[in-house]
Amino acid sequence: MAAIDDAYDPEAFREHGRRLVDGLADYLHAVRRGDGVAVLPWVDPGRSLEHWPAAFPERPDPSPDAVQALLSRVVAESTHLHHPRFVGHQVTAPLPLAALADMVSALLNNGMAVYEMGPVATAMERAVIEWMTAQLGFGPGAGGVLTSGGSVGNLTALLAARQACAGFDAWTDGSHAGPPLAVLASGQTHYCVQRAVQIMGWGVGGAVAVPVDERFRMRPDALEGALDRATGSGRRVIAVVASAASTSTGAFDPLGPIADFCERHGLWLHVDGAHGAAAALSPKYRGLVDGIARANSVVWDAHKMMLMPALVTAVLFRNDASSYEAFAQQASYLFEGRHPSDEWFNGATRTLECTKRMMSLKLYVSLSIHGTAMFGDYVTEMFDMARRFAHRVAYAVDFELAVEPEANIVCFRFIGNGSKGGIELDALQDELRSRVIAAGGFYLVRTALPAGVFLRVTIINPATKDADLIALLDAIREAGGTV
Ligand SMILES: *Cc1c(COP(=O)(O)O)cnc(C)c1O
C-alpha cells in the first residue's frame, strides 16, 4: 500500500500545491493581459482525443514534474475565460479566491445531504440564501437552496410549483392522476424549461408560448390569450415562467405586469433569473427586475453574474415552505421521519442531489472577503459596457444591431456594404465567427433570431475593456473583407 500512502502524503500535497498555485498565478498574469494567448486554442474534437488518450500507467510516474506537466497542458489547451477577449457564453471568469475556496470544498468533501455531512457549508448556505433573498426584496419568510446549475434549479422550482398549484398530488399519484398541466413561457425561454416540463411528463405541449414584443420581452397583454388557448386544449395552466434575462438577447420580461396576471389567475410566478437576477445588486439597473419580489420562485446562477466557478445556483422561494414540496418524498434512513421543514439543515430534502459540493463556501468566502459592493459595481459596469458597445455597433454603417441590450448580452451582425441578404447574410455570420475564433483573438457565439443569424457577445469578464470590443469589430471587418 505504499503507493496509496504516497498519494495522501501532506508534504507532496504542499509541494504540488505550491507549484500549481504559482503556475496558475503566472497564468492569470498572462491571460488577463491577453497577449500571445489564443482565447480558444482550437483543436478538432477528434484530434483532442489523441491529446488525451486513455493510456494510464499501471505504476505512478516517479517524476516530481509529472503533475505540473500534465496540468499545464490542461491549462494551455483550455478555453481562457479570464482572457479579456472572451466574450462568448454566459460563464464568468471566476474570482481566484473563489477557486481556492472550491479547492477546500473538494478536499473536505462534506457532502451536504444531511447536516452532519456538512455543518459549516449548511450554515453558510443558509446565510447566502438569506442575503440573496434580501437582495431580491423577499421578506423574512423567504428561503431556498443551492443546487447544481440553472437547469436543475428551474426543474426544482417547477416541481414545487406543480405541488402547490396542480390541484392534485402529481408527485405521489403520478402526472396521469389529473388533467395535463402546462406553464406559460415565451419562445425566448431557456430550453431547460421545456426540458423540465417534459421530465415532469407533460409532453411537448407542457410549455405554451407567449408572444414577445419587438425587444424579445414577454408581452403581458398576450398572456390572457395564451391561457385561453392552453385551457381550450384541455391543459391546466399552473404557472408563468418569466425570463430575467433571456439567454439569447438578454431581454427582461416585465415582471410587474406578469405578476399582476398571475395574481389575477392564481398562478405561480417563476422567474428564471439564472443570468440576470444579479441586476438586483446594481443600484443603477435593479429597475430591470422590478416586481421580482412578487415571484413565488426565482433561479439565480452565481456562476454567471456573480463571478463564481461553476456550479452554484440558488433556487429562492418567497415562501420557504414551498421549497419542501419539490421533493416531498422522504428517505427514512436519512431524515428520521419528521417533516422536512423541521430539519432545514438536512439539505437533501430540498434538492435533486443527495451528495453535492460545498457550493456555498466559495460564495460566502467571496462575499466576506471582497465585500458586497464589488458585485453590484461589477454588474453595473458589465451592463454599461454592453450599452456602449451596442451604441458603437448601431452607429457603424457596416454593422447592424439586433436590439438595444438590456443586460450585458449584445447581438449584432456584419452587413458590410449591404449587398448580402437572407441565407447569404446568415452564412456570412457563421463564417466570420469561425474565422475570428480560429485566428485566436476572440471567442464569441451566435444566435438565431427571427431576422436571421446574429453574432452574440456576453460581456462578463471584468478584464474586458471597451478597446477589446472595438478590436472585435475590427477583427470581424477584417475577416469580412476577405470572405
Ligand atoms: C444559463 C441559463 C440557464 C441554464 O443554467 P445552467 O446553470 O447553465 O444550467 C437557464 N436559464 C437562463 C435564463 C440562463 O441564462
228-251: per-residue pLDDT in tens?
999 999 999 999 999 999 999 999
Q: Scan for cell 415552505, then name that residue.
A: 321
For residue 363, list its beta bridge partners.
none
| Alpha-carbon dihedral angle through residues 350, 264, 172, 230, given to the nearest 10 degrees | -120
φ/ψ of 309, rounded to 5, equals: -65, 145
The rounded distance, in Å, linking the Cα atoms of 218 and 183 is: 14
Q: Point out the residues of the chain with pLDDT beneath 70.
A: 1, 62, 64, 329-340
Ligand 1 centroid vs 132 CA: distance in angstroms?
Answer: 18
Dist. CA 190 → ligand 1 center (Å) = 7
| pLDDT one-digit tens code per residue, 323-356 | 888 887 654 455 555 666 777 888 888 899 999 9
Q: What CATH number has the domain spanning 109-358?
A: 3.40.640.10
Architecture of domain 373-480: Alpha-Beta Complex (3.90)
**Distances from the Cα of 447 to the Cαs of 321, 367, 412, in angstroms?**
38, 34, 10
Q: What is the pLDDT of residue 414?
A: 98
Nearest-CA residue for ligand 1 atom 4 is: 150
**DSSP calls for 15-38:** HHHHHHHHHHHHHHHHHHH-TT--
How far, in Å, is the centroid of ligand 1 from the Cα of 274? 5
What grid cell was written down for 348?
Answer: 437533501
- Start-end of CATH 3.40.640.10 domains in the chain: 109-358
The pTM score is: 0.96
Phi-psi region of 83 (alpha: psi -120 to 50; beta: other; left: phi over 0): beta
Q: How many residues does the chain have?
A: 483
Is the preceding omega at residue 427 within 30 degrees of 0, hence cis?
A: no
441 CB contacts (<8 Å, ≥6 apart)?
38, 39, 85, 471, 472, 475
Grid coordinates representing 198?
417534459
Per-residue model confidence (pLDDT) at position 336:
57
The b-or-e profile of 26-42 (16+ CB within 10 A means b, else e) is ebeeebbebeebbbbeb
- Pair type for strands 409-414 and 452-458: antiparallel
The grid cell for 163 is 405541488
Rounded distance between C-alpha atoms, residue 464 and residue 472, angstroms: 11
Compute the distance between CA of residue 399 and CA of residue 139 in angstroms, rounded to an integer: 46
CA 247 / ligand 1 centre spacing (Å): 7
Contact residues of ligand 1, CB 6 A cut-off: 90, 149-151, 190, 192, 243, 247, 272, 274-275, 301, 313
- CATH code 3.90.1150.10 region(s) in the chain: 373-480
Q: Which residues contact 166 (CB under 8 A, 6 or more apart)?
A: 178, 181, 236, 238
Residue located nearest, by CA, to atom 2 of ligand 1: 274
What is the C-alpha separation between 142 and 125, in angstroms, rounded? 14
